[in-house]
Amino acid sequence: MTHSPEAPGPLEGVTVIDVTRVLAGPYASMVLSDLGATVIKVEAPGSGDDSRGFGPVVGGTSTYFASVNRGKKSIALDLKAPDDRAILMDLLATADVLLENFRPGVMEKLGLSWEELAPKFPQLIYGSVSGFGQTGPYRDRAAYDIVVQAMGGMMSVTGPEDGPPARVGTSIGDVGAGAFLALGVTSALYARSRSGKGRRIDISMLDCQVALLENAVTRYGATGELPRPMGSKHPLIAPFQAFRTADDWLVIAAGNDRLFARFTAAIGRAELAQNPLFLKRTDRQRHHQALEIEIELTLATRSRDEWLSLLQAEGIPCGPIRNVADLMEDPQLAARQMICETRDSAGQRFQVVGNPVKISGYDDRPERGAVPDLDQHRGEILTALYGRPPAP
Amino acid sequence: MTHSPEAPGPLEGVTVIDVTRVLAGPYASMVLSDLGATVIKVEAPGSGDDSRGFGPVVGGTSTYFASVNRGKKSIALDLKAPDDRAILMDLLATADVLLENFRPGVMEKLGLSWEELAPKFPQLIYGSVSGFGQTGPYRDRAAYDIVVQAMGGMMSVTGPEDGPPARVGTSIGDVGAGAFLALGVTSALYARSRSGKGRRIDISMLDCQVALLENAVTRYGATGELPRPMGSKHPLIAPFQAFRTADDWLVIAAGNDRLFARFTAAIGRAELAQNPLFLKRTDRQRHHQALEIEIELTLATRSRDEWLSLLQAEGIPCGPIRNVADLMEDPQLAARQMICETRDSAGQRFQVVGNPVKISGYDDRPERGAVPDLDQHRGEILTALYGRPPAP
């Protein structure tokens, strides 16, 4: 992604050296890249980032890899080989940020710990993301997305009321941690603008799952009532869930007394708002099953789209349950350039998700930076670093 | 939260004027507060933030409100009353950030749009979060968490394979957007450190749901295969899911050939790694149902905890499915101070989630700032602003 000087991204001029692989780390550096940073992706010589092999592969390019690595520059460096390590050190001397997502201890063994690098590169912000973090009794354990979704309580509140366990269908264990890592980096960049000093950021995927549980911990701690999976229902609000119509599901969120009165009037069931079972928010929550039956009796009389236009006209928060194909055709997402395009070096095009952080003076481009081949930018990176093309 | 000068948070000295209510906006300002910012919560006189009334209420304090507003300062201001607006303007003159989550158009009607404020306060970073964003055909529609989870594709990939729709059990529509708003603010703070100028940030809850779908959009765009709910399974990797043991569920993530070989050896089923049905990642994904049956046949012979210690000893990524009660007793979360305490003005204690962004030179405190009463800090805020106590 190039940006004209008239519209610099907030992180324009920031250089990120990214030795991360697969998802949590690459997601963080993608977010930073979308905000204007230059990301130099350091990959293992040979096959590079593991995710280059993850299917589905189209025209030789992994869709998984393309989705989070578009717009980055790639250089292959062997972190154990002296010559390549010297290049890494020279890169770090000119960089703002180093990101890594090895198991805790690996960077230490490579002689690339924060303690080792900080005295040499006092400006450097050093960001780590791992399954359980750099400290604590679980620090050496391996984790992948589903392990932290399970151990972090996320699966204990997701899925049907009496079904087998369900995972959040996106890798929220990885991308949640990646987003918090990007947040840590930008806050450290701001702090460095005042102190001149870098910081070390230590993100645990498990911590981030707990941080995303919002009020569940406080609620349980205060009441002893255990949050459980509730299908599409909200633990505290009703109606706030999916309902069946004559032909398909829709969701309705009429969470306060005013919206509930308007909603019941809109569907011709104004008497429900007078029913003592459903009078106040707490009443509706207590009697949500009876309320669901009453509402579905009425919604069953018309199609989803009929109800949606009727409810939208009345300003009731509602919507269809849309799949990924629907997103591709949505006018709102198109207007906000949330479905963008990238291409690989062979010209194969891929659709990718855009940047959700819209910020003034920095227009989104519908075309995102290309998917890098392994080591594609070696010449460009070394020339920028050493002022001459690299030896052949 | 006070911090000693020896350990300043990265956002120490940053003042946030926060006119947001309920969840997405308050979550963003909580995250900023956890990084060291001072948050002045501006609430409507009378009943304040709607969420002060959300149950469960303990000792007069809403657990919902407490969970995301601990550590903020509260002042009650009527944004339509001239005297109170004058105070707001004086606050903005000394502030770094304004956050709002009204429906698009409301701040304009209040005469508090970015266009109006930016010339007066060129340093001000103006952050908005709304259901669909400030632009596009849906901008005027109301949205709550479940509406954007449904419309953003999140529900289309979450839940059982053939069940009714399921929501992500935490309000990921709100907290996801809140996290991206905090990221926008910190990146704008960094940009301001170089330009001196504030920026306007426009976060859409819908955009953020799509941004969290990771490779689903790219995968569908390239293959036409629609991502669907898969229970606890991963769309691309197997085994990577929940399994039944003799007494309870556990999750196992043996996503590559090396881990799969180690896993099958560990459970005494080394022959599975030689079976042509399960040889490569793509084979295992294609035959995941057969693989699940084989694995559960063996796992059924021992208890969850027996399997977990055996698998952990072999370095296989695995874990129990833990509920919120389990989190409260977890030694890793304790070591990382992810379960903290706060109190309200009456001294009632609440457990709250800690800060997942661990950063050097900034130690977490186990005790978080108190839950503010409505208008509790009026005197303190006005004294700081005007250099004298306010008129009675």
Which chain A residues are closer than 8 Å to B138 by Cβ? 331-332
pLDDT of residue A3: 39
A365 pLDDT above the threshold of 90: no
pLDDT of residue A142: 86
Place of tokens 């549980």: A213
Average pLDDT, whole number, for chain A? 95
- CB A165 within 8 Å of CB A155: yes
pLDDT of residue A252: 97
B151 Cα to chain A: minimum distance (Å): 5
Question: Which residue type occupies A261?
Answer: A
Confidence of residue A163 (pLDDT cuts 50, 70, 90): confident
Confidence of residue B390 (pLDDT cuts 50, 70, 90): low
End-to-end CA distance of chain A: 28
> Could A164 and B165 be called an inter-chain contact, meaning their C-beta atoms sit closer than 8 Å?
no
Does residue A127 sit at the B interface (CB-CB below 8 Å)? no
Q: Are strands A125-130 and A200-204 parallel, antiparallel or unpaired?
A: parallel
pLDDT of residue B1: 33
pLDDT of residue B209: 98
> Could B222 and A114 be called an inter-chain contact, meaning their C-beta atoms sit closer than 8 Å?
no
Chain B stretch 179-198, residues whose beta carbon is closer than 8 A to a beta carbon of chain A: 179-180, 182-184, 186-191, 193-194
Tens digits of residue pLDDT in A79-104: 999 999 999 999 999 999 999 999 99
> Could A216 and B190 be called an inter-chain contact, meaning their C-beta atoms sit closer than 8 Å?
no
Does residue B254 sit at the A interface (CB-CB below 8 Å)? no
Confidence of residue A31 (pLDDT cuts 50, 70, 90): very high
- Could you confirm whether B377 is annotated as catalytic? no
H and E: helices and strands count for chain B: 16, 14
Structural domain spans, chain B: 15-212+330-386, 240-244+249-320
String of DSSP letters for A49-94: SGGGGPSPEETTEEHHHHHHHTT-EEEE--TTSHHHHHHHHHHHHH
d(CA B277, CA B272): 8
Which residues have C-beta within 8 Å of that of residue A376, sequence separation ≥ 6?
A73, A74, A345
d(CA B186, CA B199): 11
Which runs of E-coded beta strand occur in chain A?
15-18, 38-43, 57-58, 61-62, 73-76, 97-100, 125-130, 200-204, 240-244, 249-253, 318-320, 339-343, 349-353, 358-359
> Could B157 and A151 be called an inter-chain contact, meaning their C-beta atoms sit closer than 8 Å?
no
A312 pLDDT above the threshold of 60: yes
Percent of chain B past pLDDT 90, that is, above it, reads: 91
Chain B stretch 44-73, residues whose beta carbon is closer than 8 A to a beta carbon of chain A: 50, 54-56, 58, 63-64, 66-68
Tens digits of residue pLDDT in B193-221: 999 999 999 999 999 999 999 899 999 99
- CB A41 within 8 Å of CB A372: yes
Tokens of A155: 């699966």
User: What chain A residue is nearest to B131 in terms of C-alpha separation?
Assistant: A317
By three-state DSSP, how is residue B91 classified? helix
Report how many Cβ contacts below 8 Å link chain A to chain B.
546
Which chain A residues are closer than 8 Å to B164 by Cβ? 160, 231-232, 242, 249
Average pLDDT, whole number, for chain B? 95
Task: Please name the member of B221, B316, B355 whose beta carbon is closest to the beta carbon of A351.
Answer: B221
Does residue A340 sit at the B interface (CB-CB below 8 Å)? no
The yes or no reply on domain A15-212+330-386 and CATH 3.40.50.10320 is no
Does residue B267 sit at the A interface (CB-CB below 8 Å)? no
- CB B307 within 8 Å of CB B250: yes
By three-state DSSP, how is residue A241 classified? strand
pLDDT of residue A5: 41
Q: How many residues does chain B have?
A: 392
> Could A222 and B23 be called an inter-chain contact, meaning their C-beta atoms sit closer than 8 Å?
no
Query: What is the distance, to the nearest Å, from the Cα of residue B262 to the centroid of all Cα atoms in its chain?
Result: 35
Interval A218-242 mean pLDDT: 95
Tens digits of residue pLDDT in B334-389: 999 999 999 999 999 999 999 999 999 998 887 889 999 999 999 999 999 998 76
Confidence of residue A7 (pLDDT cuts 50, 70, 90): low
A318 Cα to chain B: minimum distance (Å): 6
Tens digits of residue pLDDT in B310-321: 999 999 999 999
Q: Establish whether domains A15-212+330-386 and A240-244+249-320 are of one fold.
A: no
B204 Cα to chain A: minimum distance (Å): 7
pLDDT of residue B8: 81
String of DSSP letters for A88-116: HHHHHHH-SEEEE-SPTTHHHHTT--HHH
User: What chain B residue is nearest to A26 in terms of C-alpha separation?
Assistant: B214
pLDDT of residue B4: 42
Q: What is the CB neighbour count within 10 angstroms for residue A122?
A: 12
Question: Which residue type occupies B365?
Answer: R
Mutation for testing the A interface, residue in B333, B352, B355, B362 having most A CBs under 10 Å? B333
d(CA B240, CA B260): 10
End-to-end CA distance of chain B: 28
> Could B356 and A204 be called an inter-chain contact, meaning their C-beta atoms sit closer than 8 Å?
yes
Confidence of residue A162 (pLDDT cuts 50, 70, 90): confident
Does residue B3 sit at the A interface (CB-CB below 8 Å)? no
B389 Cα to chain A: minimum distance (Å): 32
Poorest-pLDDT segment among A385-389, B228-232, B276-280: A385-389
Confidence of residue B162 (pLDDT cuts 50, 70, 90): confident
Which residues have C-beta within 8 Å of that of residue B41, sequence separation ≥ 6?
B18, B26, B29, B49, B69, B72, B73, B74, B75, B372
What is this model's ipTM?
0.97
> Could A64 and B219 be called an inter-chain contact, meaning their C-beta atoms sit closer than 8 Å?
yes
pLDDT of residue A390: 59
pLDDT of residue A4: 42
pLDDT of residue B367: 86
List beta partners, residue B17. B40, B98
Confidence of residue B392 (pLDDT cuts 50, 70, 90): low
Domain B240-244+249-320 - what CATH class? alpha beta
User: What chain A residue is nearest to B253 in terms of C-alpha separation?
Assistant: A144
Confidence of residue A392 (pLDDT cuts 50, 70, 90): low
Q: Is B332 left (phi over 0), alpha (psi -120 to 50) or beta?
A: alpha
Return the closest-CA partner of residue A285 out of A249, A234, A242. Answer: A234
Does residue B313 sit at the A interface (CB-CB below 8 Å)? no
List beta partners, residue A38. A15
Tens digits of residue pLDDT in A66-83: 999 999 999 999 999 999
pLDDT of residue B123: 97
pLDDT of residue A391: 61
Q: Are strands B61-62 and B57-58 parallel, antiparallel or unpaired?
A: antiparallel
Interval A183-207 mean pLDDT: 97
B391 pLDDT above the threshold of 70: no
Does residue A329 sit at the B interface (CB-CB below 8 Å)? no
Does residue B243 sit at the A interface (CB-CB below 8 Å)? no
Return the closest-CA partner of residue B208 out of A50, A274, A212. Answer: A212
